[in-house]
Structure 1
């Protein structure tokens, strides 16, 4: 455990040593602020201030998931692939640490980074919701319902981040190509729901990864397939995650990097 924690610490430090990581945080803040400002502008232009209440905004921060996903995928795709492209993989594997621990430390670091981005985005989102929008007539921010719903939606939206970054991590580690991993991950993210909708009349749609990635559908009611349930979706996602990780770890452990 101590060696794993040390590896994670090293990966975390390597990640934040890169200027691109700080740029990602800045991009997240800018996009979140811009999104909130746009919604405020729309409400003012259409005189719909009553539909965009402070409590309503706080209760649904799921829009953060898309931005965090796009940024985290970049890190997930390159955290292993870059070791090969930069030629540092041999040095990394000369350490007296089992390969699976090295890969696990990278996988955990990627997801911790995603969680960190989600937290930063959530803080900015909440602050702007409180600043830009007015309270509804029959609601209050002191209500436990408001904040519990907010955190629950945040958790559900992170599910999509976790699934997509796990896929990107797998492709990047297996094929050693960050561009391929990013491209395929974004393809799944942007077209997956469309594919599931087109195949919704067939039984196979229930077992496609795309159908279950957006867990917020169970709260919003915008279901890709009407008879889906949360437990079934979680079970299907668990199978895919296990398959992805088995492929990643098996390939990484057995790969010959001596040449």
Structure 2
């Protein structure tokens, strides 16, 4: 465990020594500000009534898309970059089991995703309080507001986790960050459309992009009818295991001189 934590610390430090990582944090903040500004403008144009502060806080799931895109970039390149930069030989010849190296990279990717989600959430909440007014009969002291907010945040992170795991697998197997990013974003942007087109067929229930957006169980905007949360979680769990098995199998067996 101590060795694994040390590997994670090294990966975390390597990640934050890159200017691109700090740029991604800046992009997250800017896009969150822009998104909230747009929501305020739309609210003002809505003659039927302005969005409330509590209503905005209860659904921060819009953060998921931005965090997903940024996390996928890191997930796709955290292994592939070792090959492109020529550091893979030094990495794999260390007296450390290969699976521990890959676990440390996978955990670092997800830790980064969680960190981005929290940063975006803090900015989102501050802007919601600044830009929007409380609704009649609503109060931020009501625990139901915050419990719903955190629940939606957790559900939206599910999409980040499964997509970044897919990108991690592709990057690990094919050693190409561009391929991993491209395929991951293709699935992210077209997956829901494919699921909707195939919704009348049984196969749609077993496609992983049908279940990626767990917020559908709260919003009611189901891609395929008769889905349940436990079933979606079970399908996603199977896919995650498959993705990771492929990743570890390829990484452990790979020739160090490759």
TM-score by length of 1: 0.98
Determine the C-alpha separation between the residues in 2 that align with 1:33 and 1:48.
24
Q: Give the Cα separation in 1 of the matches to 2:69 and 2:228.
A: 27
Distance (Å, rounded) in 1 between the aligned partners of 2:42 and 2:155: 26
SS at match of 2:96: coil
Match of 1:27 in 2: 27
1:116-168 CA distance string (max 9 Å, x none): 00000000000000000000002111001000000000000000000000000
Per the alignment, residue 11 of structure 1 pairs with 11
1:252 paired residue number: 251
> 2:193 aligns to what?
194
CA contact under 8 A between 2:75 and 2:168: conserved in structure 1?
yes
Paired with 1:196 and 1:45, the residues of 2 have a C-alpha distance of: 33
How far off its partner does 1:258 sit?
2.0
* Matched ranges for 1:1-80 at <5 A: 1-50=1-50, 52-80=51-79
* SS class of match (1:241): helix
> How many residues get paired?
258
Structure 2: distance between partners of 1:79 and 1:215: 26
Whether 1:203 aligns to 2:197 is no
CA distance in 2, matches of 1:49, 1:37: 17
> What is the alpha-carbon root mean square deviation over aligned residues?
0.8
Q: Provide the secondary structure at the position in 1 that maps to 2:153.
A: helix
Whole-Å Cα distance in 1 between the matches of residues 70 and 47 of structure 2?
34
- State the Cα distance separating 1:90 from its structure 2 match: 0.5
Runs of 5+ unmatched residues, structure 1: none
Rounded Cα–Cα distance in structure 1 between residues aligned with 2:113 and 2:167: 13
| Distance in 1, Cα, partners of 2:48 & 2:37 | 14
Matches within 5 A, 1:126-205: 126-205=125-204
The alpha-carbon deviation at position 49 of structure 1 amounts to 4.3
Establish whether residue 94 from structure 1 lines up as the match of residue 93 from structure 2.
yes
- Cα distance in structure 1, aligned partners of 2:45 and 2:202: 45
CA distance in 2, matches of 1:18, 1:93: 22
1:235 is aligned to 234
CA contact (8 A) 2:192 2:209 kept: yes
Give the CA deviation at 1:9. Answer: 0.2
Distance 1:66 1:200 in 2: 23
Structure 2: gaps (5+ residues): none
Aligned mates of 2:166, 2:48 — CA distance in 1: 40
Contact 2:199 2:225 in 1 (8 A): no
1:104 is aligned to 103
The 2-side partners of 1:128 and 1:56 are apart by 13
